[in-house]
Amino acid sequence: MFLLQKISTDLKRKLIYAHLAIVIMVTIGTVGFKYFEGLGWLDSIYFSTATLTTVGYGDIVPVTEGGKNFTVFFIFLGVGTVLYALSILAQSFIQAEIISALGLRRKNKEMKNLSNHYIICGAGRVGRRVFNTLDKENIPVVVIEIDEKRVEKIDNIDNHYVLVGDATLEKNLIKAGVERAAGLASCLAADASNVYVVLTARDLNSDLHIVSRAVEEQAELKLIRAGANRVVSPTIIGSVSMSRALTKPAIADFMDSIVAENLDLVFEEIPIRNNSDYAGRMLKDTNISSELNLLVVAIRRKDGEMIFRPSGSSKILEGDLLIVIGEAESMKTLIQLNQ
């Protein structure tokens, strides 16, 4: 299946025809030998296969005149067909290898010019879900995974970049462009490996936003100390979600709907830069609520202070980060106006 993805449509068609031709030749030979020689089905299949593969009969040979005439005809027709099929198969392998090599060179060249992209270390269940989320938002991604079989399980990977190797090695992080990346997600299965990735990535890029997976609860503090901006423990999140679903099912349904995008509601971070039209204005004087019908849930100041449920008199300052919820179309308009 992986081979068929790399070869041309025309060659795929030829490859299918070649396989069909071999099956047809074996069938013709089997029926012919059974008819002319009076053999059983198994012996007829044996005769047919031995003729097509040119290995010779050895123990038994055609004895009737009709069988000998059919064998001569079958050798010329069948052996030629099999040789053609084998040449098509060899051509497909060679083409796939050439395409793979050229594609790898092109991808590696493009990877050197990437900037503000995101790196995912590990393509297991967690890593693939992170990838799918970023892929939906058309964010450029580089996946570092040591197991090629896991890479093959990722959907739409051809539109992004893959580095097959150990994510804990500094050289692989450098190849993935960690020094120019906007963020990194360490999704490896072992906490020790995640700590090593976080330490190395933080040393290579002090401004990198790093999110790491924690398998064990006690690893969270170590990952923070190593340089992770955020640590996510699937075990803790799963248990909290189950508790909410058990005791507060309506809230759980609402939160799940937002995460699953079943509702036309999205959360977004709106950074306020110095050229933003919203900088220096009170919240009530903007069109965020009155025209766009969006709700500012919180404002995070440049110094890290978080203001929840800001009032209309709250002033939007340069460097603030607005946490906004609302309809997707209105959110797109806000993002455009803020640029």
Phi, psi of 184, rounded to the nearest 5 degrees: -140, 135
The total number of structural domains that make up the chain: 3
Secondary structure E strands in 61-147: 118-121, 141-145
Given this model, what pLDDT does residue 67 score? 67
Amino acid at 329: E
29 and 123 belong to one structural domain: no
Q: What is the pLDDT averaged over residues 248-275?
A: 79
For residue range 8-22, what is the model confidence (pLDDT) as tens digits? 565 667 777 777 877
Give the pairing type, strands 295-300 and 266-271. unpaired
pLDDT at position 101 is 53
Determine the Cα angle at 321 with ends 318 and 322, to 5°. Answer: 115
Q: Is 328 part of a structural domain of the chain? A: yes
pLDDT tens-digit profile of 319-337?
A: 999 999 888 888 889 988 8
Same domain assignment for residues 219 and 272: no
Whether residue 152 is found in the same domain as residue 228? yes
HSE (CB half, 13 Å, CA atoms) of 143? 30
273-295 burial string, b = 16+ CB within 10 Å, else e? Answer: eeebebbeeebeebebeeebebe
My answer on whether 151 and 187 are in the same domain is yes
| Residue 198 is assigned to a structural domain of this protein | yes
Asked whether residue 226 falls in the same domain as residue 122, the answer is yes
Predicted confidence at residue 186, as pLDDT, reads 96
Q: Residue 31: pLDDT above 50? A: yes
- Can you give the pTM of this predicted structure? 0.62
Residues 106 and 204 in one domain: no
Same domain? For 106 and 139 the reply is no
What's the CATH number where 151 sits?
Answer: 3.40.50.720
Exposed (0-12), middle (13-18) or buried (19+): which is 333, by Cβ within 10 Å?
middle
- The pLDDT of residue 193 is 95
Last residue of a domain, one of 185, 215, 232: 232
pLDDT score of 38: 77
Share of the chain above pLDDT 70, in %: 83
The reply to whether 133 and 208 lie within a common domain is yes
Residue 29 lies in a domain: yes
Domain that holds residue 145: 118-232
pLDDT digits (tens, 9 = 90+) for 277-290: 898 999 999 999 88
